[in-house]
Structure 1
Amino acid sequence: MASKLFDPQTRDRAWLLYAWCRACDDIADGQDHGHGMTRLSDGPERIARIRALTADALAGKATGEPAFDALGLVAAECGIPHWLPFDVIDGFALDGEGWSPRTADDLLRYCYHVAGAVGVMMAIVMGVPAGDEATLDRACDLGLAFQLANIARDLSEDDAVGRCYLPAEWLAELDVPPGEHMRPAHRAGLVSLARLLTDQAARYEASARIGAYALPFRARWAVLAAADIYGGIGRAVAQAGAHAWDHRVSTSKWSKLAAVFRAWRLARQAAPDPLPPRPDTLWTRPRR
């Protein structure tokens, strides 16, 4: 929905980048367009294939895989640093290894790899210079917000395939044994942990909204719409409480349209002068 708000060239490039992200995710998790995630026994081999195809695409070689060729095209056109796609692949590798976070910092580092780095690449596609670290930090924040909301929403689905993104130290504080967080006896604690995730998502979303003012109008409109739409998932999880995992939380067509209209009004407003600094309390992506 939000991508339709971009100017045509930016929209096409965003779709090319998304095609690569989607293909990598499908290969890594054995999915079909984001559906049907399963337990896999050949995770490392799948990641090796993703790395090889990505390296060839970034080197300008035809891979025979349209989604990877798409990455090579958009990276060359927009000047995306080649280490960024490999940062994303490092996140898929963590999943392939059966990784789980021990601390909150571990969780945020994972969110950077699978979503924050994508936000950085998207900002470059929108015209942000690769050296504009302040704006790219805000773009990363939007990716972090999206992934934290994703994790809160998908706790049950992830548990079904043996994954848990709740930090071990959080679970230990509530005396929840590893792998048992979805049991009914722990539902009250799970609600409090999901609220931690959605509260963090809201803080990173707020930071990202400030960064949107560095973008051209249509890109700013699209980013603010995406923040509102995806932020709605986190807010819905928090509001549902113990029932958040009875069914997969989603947003309706009408709520998306309302978010697009709210974003249009915000995008037309003048940027705050001066822009507030990014809070020091927020986790910051790694520098290269």
Structure 2
Amino acid sequence: MGFDYALVHLKYTIPPAALLTLLYRPLFTKLDVYKIAFLVAIAVVATIPWDSYLIRTRIWSYPSYVIVGPTLLEIPLEEVFFFVVQTYNTSLLYLILSKPTFQPVYLHAGPDASRGQWRTKRLAGQTLLLVAIAWGWRCIKEEGPGTYAGLIIVWAGPFLLLLWSLAYQFILGLPWTNTVVPIMLPTLYLWVVDTLALRRGTWVITAGTKYGVHLWDGLEIEEALFFFITNTLIVFGQLAFDNALAVLYTFPHLFATPPRLPSPALLMRALLTPCSKYDGARLTGLKEAVHRLKRKSRSFYLASSTFPALLRADLLLLYSFCRVADDLVDNASTAREAQEWITKLHKFLDNVYSDTGSSLVVSEHVRSHFPADTQSALLQLPAAKLSPQPLRDLLHGFEMDLAFNTAPLIETDEDLRLYSERVAGTVAQMCIQLIFQLYPTNLPTEEQRKIVAAGNHMGVALQYINIARDICVDAQIGRVYLPLTWLSEVGLSYDAVLKHPDHVQIESLRMRLLDKAFSLYEKATGAIQKLPSEARGPIRVAVESYMEIGRTLREDGYVVKAGRATVPRWRRVMVAWRTLNK
């Protein structure tokens, strides 16, 4: 009886598990627990017969003085725990690294996804794995130095072949931070741990079943291969799981109401769905939405990664519509052209919400009257989940922007509040509508109205932050959103601000606007707690990520930059993590 193997866990596997759990704890969902438990169960069930065979045939062994004693099919319990903790650690690292990625945009629709280049890649991977399995089997039959390596490959190869065949698009297409990094970091770490264990004799590989080649002093090449392959299996398993979820949650015409915790049979059905049945138009809309959000609002893109997948897709499509509509008006060459775009957008909403309108009518109108690069944003708007009034009010906000071409518009506090309600409060209202659509609540109707109203106030607060940040940027396009009454109080004119937006008096007005923003924020923030639990934390992250811009602007000595990014990425990440931990 001994404790050497137990000490390996106490020193090297449990501390990373605790650290990764601490890091990911605020993001943990029931679905994450389900995914990890599912893979841990598969890892244990699939590994026990193989590991038991290796011990019974003396390919590797554990001296009695390094283990506590209890075994399962001759496998020390410390070894069984290793299956669990390795799968847990690698899975958690994968979840952390993949969280920012909106994975559905890496699906490929249509016949091209199942033939040509993709088919060649799939067949190449399958061929390589089949050759490796055949080579492994030959090594086992020869009962020579390649026995251990052959047993590793013959055991793991069929699983890798299955996972590759089901999820090769994700395995090849996702960013390397989602694939290579979560495989290699745990592998390198376990190589070091294994080196120390082999040197201490915690476990022993029988001579004659191994090549005697070392990756470095103390690390057998077979052990290096084992940990690389097992971590690859874990990550491929996570990728296949996420590939199935992406199909389930992205295509309502295929899976209308997928459960929050889908069964293995449903996951397999999603993976086996032909790419030709995917909704290519929806995928295009989501891809363009992600691109717009990354380019235009890095704070909200970071915050969006904390939302559940179904809600995140709807929010991305809503943002895409709002961004496209705003750009059509802002980028118009003349005021008349801008007004024409607003009129066309009103007509679009008329068609969408008409009792007699059809999707064909909406589609024909969009394709006839809007540029090709904007069409998916309109056609993929989740209008069925939204009431029309906030969308119409948003267009009225654009009309207020357009009025700047003829005369200053924001004369009083009330004008500023109305403008902000239309261009930002409406968006917050629609976000809450999407949340209540996806996560029905038992709250009374009046209470729901109060939450929507609080969302409107929060949207206004965020718009005030936006205006305070962009005084110089707005002046460059001929706009000043600070009320004329405020300018008059400090002895400035509208034209003076356009010419010198960095005037010393502007700073006091910026602080006044920020004070109003934080006052509204304090009044509205309590309503977030009444939202469904699935959306509560992510909404706080979205709000706090933007409010951090305001806190930055308030810091002594901070110099306002002409650009739009005022908070470093690391600081936004810390804000998100602290917010979710509250």
Measured against the shorter chain, the TM-score band is 0.7 to 0.9
1:68 equivalent in structure 2? 378
1:91 equivalent in structure 2? 397
Contact 1:30 1:40 in 2 (8 A): no
Report sequence identity in percent: 26
Q: Aligned pair 1:45/2:340, yes or no?
A: yes
- Per the alignment, do residues 158 and 136 of structure 1 end up closer, same or farther by CA in structure 2, a change over 3 Å counting? same
1:135 positional shift: 0.3
| 1:17-52 CA-partner distances (Å, limit 9, x unpaired) | 111101111101118xxxxxx875532122112222
2:23 equivalent in structure 1? none
Q: 2: CA distance between counterparts of 1:166 and 1:48? A: 27
Q: 2: CA distance between counterparts of 1:156 and 1:240? A: 19
Choose the corresponding residue for 1:16, options 317, 330, 345. Answer: 317
1:53 positional shift: 2.2
In the TM superposition, what are the counterparts of 1:98-109 in structure 2 within 5 Å? 98=404, 99-109=408-418
Relative to the length of structure 2, the TM-score reads: 0.42
Count how many residue pairs are aligned between Structure 1 and Structure 2: 256
Contact 2:473 2:562 in 1 (8 A): no
Contact 2:329 2:398 in 1 (8 A): yes
Q: 2: CA distance between counterparts of 1:138 and 1:11? A: 21
Instruction: Extract unaligned runs of 5+ from structure 2.
Output: 1-301, 368-374
1:275 equivalent in structure 2? none
2:435 equivalent in structure 1? 126
Q: 1: CA distance between counterparts of 2:564 and 2:346? A: 31
Choose the corresponding residue for 1:138, options 454, 475, 478. Answer: 454
Alpha-carbon RMSD across the aligned residues, in angstroms, is 2.3
In the TM superposition, what are the counterparts of 1:95-244 in structure 2 within 5 Å? 95-98=401-404, 99-127=408-436, 132-181=448-497, 187-239=503-555, 243-244=559-560
1:281 equivalent in structure 2? none
Contact 1:39 1:162 in 2 (8 A): no
Tell me which protein shows more helix as a share of its residues.
Answer: 2
Q: 2: CA distance between counterparts of 1:92 and 1:184? A: 25
Q: Give the counterpart letter for 1:196 in structure 2.
A: R
Q: 1: CA distance between counterparts of 2:379 and 2:562? A: 39
Relative contact order, higher structure (CA 8 A, sep 6+): 1
Q: Aligned pair 1:58/2:353, yes or no?
A: yes
- Per the alignment, do residues 170 and 157 of structure 1 end up closer, same or farther by CA in structure 2, a change over 3 Å counting? same
Q: 2: CA distance between counterparts of 1:185 and 1:40? A: 24
1:193 positional shift: 0.4
Q: 1: CA distance between counterparts of 2:563 and 2:555? A: 14
Instruction: Extract unaligned runs of 5+ from structure 1.
Output: 32-37, 267-288
- Per the alignment, do residues 190 and 245 of structure 1 end up closer, same or farther by CA in structure 2, a change over 3 Å counting? farther
Q: 1: CA distance between counterparts of 2:352 and 2:309? A: 23
| 1:207-231 CA-partner distances (Å, limit 9, x unpaired) | 3321111112231111111111100
Of structures 1 and 2, the larger Rg is shown by: 2
In the TM superposition, what are the counterparts of 1:74-85 in structure 2 within 5 Å? 74-76=382-384, 78=385, 80-85=386-391
Look up the SS of the partner of 1:5 in the other structure.
coil
Look up the SS of the partner of 1:187 in the other structure.
coil
1:100 positional shift: 2.0
- Per the alignment, do residues 184 and 137 of structure 1 end up closer, same or farther by CA in structure 2, a change over 3 Å counting? same
| 1:98-135 CA-partner distances (Å, limit 9, x unpaired) | 15211011101100000001100110101177762110
| 1:151-196 CA-partner distances (Å, limit 9, x unpaired) | 0111111111111101000001111012212555972210010001
- Per the alignment, do residues 184 and 93 of structure 1 end up closer, same or farther by CA in structure 2, a change over 3 Å counting? closer
2:570 equivalent in structure 1? 254
